[in-house]
Amino acid sequence: MAPAVAASAAVSQALRDRDILDAVGTSAAALSLAGSSFIVLCYLLFRELRKFSFKLVYFLAVSDMFCSLFTIMGGPSNAFYCFAHDYSAHFFCVASFLWTTTIAFTLHRTVVKHKTDVEEFGSIFHLYVWGTSLATTVLRSIGSDYGRPGTWCWIQQGSMAKVLHLVTFYLPLWGAILYNGYTYFQVNRMINNATRMAVGISDRSIQSDVRADKKAFNRWGYYPLILIGSWAFATINRLHDFANPGHKIFWLSILDVGFAGLMGLFNSIAYGLNSSVRRAIAERLDMYLPERFKRSLPTLARLKSQQENELTSLIVDASNT
């Protein structure tokens, strides 16, 4: 009797833990879906945002949007739906962090190498992102057992499937983190050198421009931390599960699904809500809001006249010269 009671209690606790994980994951994904959808909507509504640099942000937001959407669509009831659901979720989540590497590449080529041909890489970017995402997703399906209900029904059986998971998702993920970090380090070093040169020049306008670029980069320089913050706990959880199969750490799983699910929200705030977007929104509000509401928004005029001194402007200006 006692073993049966203990087994029943363990099953009940496992179900409660699963419900909590589902709720945390779904809530985080819903926030990311809202944030990425907002960026997509801005791109579609505001024609002035349809420049090459923001187009990369748009495809990043699209990937985040579908990654979040398929994460929310958990609990498939049949094997085929389960296959399609997880196939799509993995595909778009991988595509999301791959798009960040194209933004880093564009930034590096424009600012460090002073090249103006970044738009010529558009087709290559699509082939690289979507092709790599598809290849890793197909490879990931090897050794997986589809058909079990749950938020993630891509059940890994044995060490081989877990190794494939690490290779097809976390290996390109941390490769992207290292590449982005190295790229932003290179750009930061170049801007620091330009700052030191400007200090030795009496031309105040040059000093002002360099300080503006440096200020802009101080914001962009933290962007590699988005991927680290989103996936650090998930990586630790996967490695722990690989080393200690069957022994789950509940609080680590909570941090795993919570922060990973928020990646789209973090990306939409960091990459999408720049001065161009804020100014475009302010201009539309100025056109359609009644005058009495405009007076109650003292920041509206400031947003309208705000100069584009974010790093996106460096990319756009260089690519258009």
Burial category of 270 from C-beta neighbours within 10 Å (exposed 0-12, middle 13-18, buried 19 and up): middle
For residue 155, the cross-strand partners are: 145
Do the beta carbons of residue 31 and residue 262 sit within 8 Å?
A: yes
Q: State both tokens at 93.
A: 């989540």
pLDDT of residue 174: 94
**pTM for this structure?**
0.81
The alpha carbon dihedral of 126, 130, 133, 138 has a sign of: negative
Q: Which residues pair with 144 in a beta bridge?
A: 156
By the 10 Å C-beta count (0-12 exposed, 13-18 middle, 19+ buried), 295 is classed as: exposed
- How far apart, in Å, do the first and last CA atoms of the chain sit? 80
Strands (E), 98-256: 144-145, 155-156
CA distance 12 to 273: 43
Tens digit of pLDDT per residue, the chain (321 long)?
Answer: 556 555 555 556 567 877 788 889 889 999 999 999 999 998 998 888 888 888 999 999 999 999 999 888 765 555 666 667 778 888 999 999 999 999 999 988 888 888 888 889 999 999 999 999 999 998 887 755 554 444 445 445 566 777 888 889 999 999 999 999 898 888 877 777 766 665 555 555 555 555 555 555 555 556 778 888 899 999 998 888 888 877 888 889 899 999 999 999 998 888 877 777 777 777 776 666 666 655 555 555 555 454 444 444 444 444 444
- What's the CA gap between 67 and 283, in Å, rounded? 31
What's the rounded Cα separation, in Å, for the pair 150 and 73?
10
Distances (CA, A) of 177 to 97, 114, 164, 223: 8, 23, 19, 10
Structure tokens at 156: 């890994």
Out of 3.40.190.80, 3.40.720.10, 1.20.1070.10, 1.10.1040.10, select the CATH number for domain 1-288.
Answer: 1.20.1070.10
What pLDDT does residue 281 have? Answer: 74
pLDDT at res. 259? 93
Domain boundaries, the chain: 1-288
Helix axes 224-243, 171-199, angle to 10 degrees: 150
